[in-house]
Copies of this chain bind each other. A is one copy, B any other.
Amino acid sequence: MAKVTSADVARASGVSRTTVSYVLNATQGVSVSDATRRRVLDAASRLGYAPSAAARTLRRGRSDLVLCVLPDWPVGPAVEAMIDRLADELAGRGMSVLVHHVRGERPLTDLLRAVTPHTVVGLAPFDPDDVRAMRQAGIGVVSTFDDVASGPGATTDAAADDPQRRIGLAQAERLAGRGCRRIGYATTPDPRVAAFAGGRLAGVREACAALGLEPPLVVEVDLSERSGAEAVRAWRSAGVDGVAAYNDEVALAVLAGTRAEGVAVPDGLAVVGVDDIPVAALASPPLTTVWQSLDLQAAYLAACVTAALDGRPQPVRPRQEVELVPRASA
Nearest CB on B from A144, distance (A): 18
A91 at the interface (CB under 8 A from B): yes
A4 at the interface (CB under 8 A from B): yes
Given contacts A252-B279, A256-B284, list 7 more A-B pairs with CB under 8 A.
A53-B113, A57-B114, A63-B115, A91-B106, A98-B100, A249-B279, A283-B283
- Bound: A3/B115 CA distance, A: 16
Known: A53-B112, A255-B282. A99 touches B96 (CB 8 A): no
- Bound: A70/B313 CA distance, A: 33
Are A100 and B99 closer than 8 Å at their CB atoms?
yes
- Bound: A149/B237 CA distance, A: 56
A217 at the interface (CB under 8 A from B): no
A80 at the interface (CB under 8 A from B): yes
Nearest CB on B from A180, distance (A): 23
Nearest CB on B from A214, distance (A): 28
Nearest CB on B from A132, distance (A): 7
Residue of B nearest to A77 (CB): B74
Chain B positions within 8 Å of A132 at CB level = 48
Chain B positions within 8 Å of A224 at CB level = 281-282
**Copies of this polypeptide in the complex:** 2
Are B136 and A63 closer than 8 Å at their CB atoms?
no
Chain B positions within 8 Å of A48 at CB level = 132-133, 136
Residues facing B in A90-120 (CB within 8 A) are 91, 94-101, 103, 105-106, 109-116
Chain B positions within 8 Å of A112 at CB level = 50, 53
A220 at the interface (CB under 8 A from B): no
- Bound: A105/B52 CA distance, A: 22
- Bound: A51/B55 CA distance, A: 15
A-B contact pairs, 29 of them (CB 8 A): A1-B136, A3-B137, A4-B136, A50-B112, A52-B116, A54-B55, A54-B57, A54-B58, A56-B113, A63-B114, A64-B113, A64-B114, A65-B114, A87-B103, A91-B105, A96-B100, A96-B106, A96-B115, A97-B100, A98-B99, A223-B282, A224-B281, A224-B282, A253-B282, A256-B281, A256-B282, A256-B283, A256-B284, A284-B284
